[in-house]
Structure 1
Amino acid sequence: MSTQKTVRQQADTVEETALRLDQEKAEQIVDALNTELANAYVLYHQLKKHHWVVEGAEFLPLHEFLEEAYENVEEGADVIAERAQALGGVPVSGPTNLERRATVEFEGEDVYDVRTMFEHDLEMYGDIVESMRDSVELANNLGDHATSQILREILVEVEEDAHHFEHYLEDDTLVLEEATH
C-alpha cells in the first residue's frame, strides 16, 4: 500500500488536456460546470430530504417520484463532474464547497407540508434551468460544442422533472375530500 500523499492537482485549477480547448476557455467552462455541479447536489439533498419525510395518503407514489427525481439529478451531476475533469478541471466536492459554490439555496432542516416542499423544489428547478441555459450558451459561445451538447441533454431531463413537479402542484385532482358536516 502506498503511503504517498502527493497532490496531483489542486482544486480550482485547470490543466491542459488532449481535448485542445484553449486554457482560458476551459477555465471558464469548468467554472460554469462546477456551479452546475454544486447546484445539482443542493437540489439532490433537498429532494432526498423530501423523499425521507413525505407523508400522507399519497405517500408511496410521491416517495417513489422523489426517488426518481433525485436519481436523475445525481446521474446528471455525475456527467457534469466527469466533463469538468475531462476538460482538465477538478470537480467541486465536499458539502462546504458545494454549498459555497451553489447559486441555489437549500430550504433548511425543517419539514414542510408536501405542497410547500414541492413549491420549494420547483423554485430551485427553475433557478437551475436558468443557470444551465446560461452555461449551455457559454460553452457554445466558447466553441465547446461537446459540453454544450452534454448540458443540453441534462437540461432536457431537468426541465422534464420540473414539469412533473408543476403537474403535482396543480389544483385539479381525482382525490375526493371527505365532506365535513
Structure 2
Amino acid sequence: MSSQETTVRQEAGTVDENALRLDQDKAEQIVEALNSELANSYVLYHQLKKHHWVVEGAEFLSLHEFLEEAYEHVEEGADEIAERAQALGGVPVSGPANLEERATVEFEGEDVYDVRTMFENDLEMYGEIIESMRGSIELAENLGDPATGEMLREILVDLEEDGHHFEHYLEDDTLVLESALH
C-alpha cells in the first residue's frame, strides 16, 4: 500500500444515503443482495475463464470461443451490478477473499476435468445463480426498487440464454463420431 496519507471515504459493508431516494434500510437489503449476486458472478466468471484456458478436443475452437463469450457476458453483468450497488449508496464487494466469502456458489477448484464434467459444473452453477437472481429481483421489487429489478432481469436473460447453450452442448446428439474420440 502507498505511503501517502489516505482517507477512507466509505467503509466496505456500509450503505450511505443515496441520491436515488431509496430509504436507507431498504437500500442496505438490496445492496446486500447485489453484493451476493456480484460475488456469484465473479465465481462463475473465474470458472468459465479457467475452462476457456484448458478446454481441449475435437470441438476446441468453438468451445473456446463460446466460453469466452459466456465469461464476457458474466463480467458485463457483474459491472452493472457493482455500479448499481454503488448508486444505492453501497460499496461493491471486490476483493478475492470477500468475493469468495460472499458468494453462495462454489468454485469447482483448480483441477482440470473433461469437457462434459466442466460443462455440467458450469450448468449447475448457472442454475444456482439464476435461482438466486430471481430472489434478488423479487426482493428489490418488494422493497420499492423496480429499477434494480429491471436491471437484474436483463442480466438474468443473458444468464438463462447462456445456461441454455451449456445445456445444448451437453445433449447426447453430436456429429463427432465415437470412433474419432478414441
* TM-score calculated relative to the size of structure 2: 0.96
Distance 1:12 1:78, change over 3 A: same
Q: Which runs of 5+ in 1 are unaligned?
A: none
Q: How many angstroms apart in 2 are the aligned matches of 1:179 and 1:41?
A: 36
Is 1:118 the counterpart of 2:112 in the alignment? no
Partner AA of 1:173 in structure 2: T
Q: Which runs of 4+ in 1 moved over 3 A?
A: none
Question: 1:12-161 to 2 correspondence within 5 Å?
Answer: 12-161=13-162
The one-letter amino acid paired with 1:11 is A
Aligned counterpart, 2:176 = 175
Cα offset, 1:173, TM superposition: 1.1
SS at match of 1:12: coil
Displacement of 1:18 after TM fit? 1.1
Equivalenced residue count is 179
- Aligned letter for 1:43? L
What is the one-letter code of the residue matched to 2:151?
I
Which residue identity is paired with 1:116? T
The RMSD of aligned alpha carbons is 1.4
What CA distance in whole angstroms lies between the structure 1 residues aligned with 2:40 and 2:130?
10
Gapped regions of structure 2 (runs ≥ 5): none
Q: Secondary structure at the match of 2:179?
A: coil
Q: For the residues of structure 2 that align with 1:123 and 1:63, how far apart are their CA atoms?
A: 19
TM-score norm. by structure 1 comes to: 0.96
Q: How big is the shift at 1:87?
A: 0.2
CA shift for structure 1 position 174: 1.8
Q: How many percent of aligned residue pairs carry the same amino acid?
A: 83
> C-alpha offsets along residues 41-63 of structure 1, whole Å, 9 cap, x if unaligned?
00000000000000011100000
Q: Take 1:7 and 1:27, find their aligned partners in 2: how far apart are those partners?
A: 20
Q: Partners in 2 of 1:68 and 1:4 — Cα distance? A: 41
Q: Using the TM superposition, give the Cα deviation of residue 179 of structure 1 relative to its aligned residue in structure 2, in angstroms.
A: 7.7
- Asked whether 1:165 is paired with 2:176, we answer no
Once the two structures are TM-superposed, the CA of residue 176 in structure 1 deviates from its matched residue by: 2.0
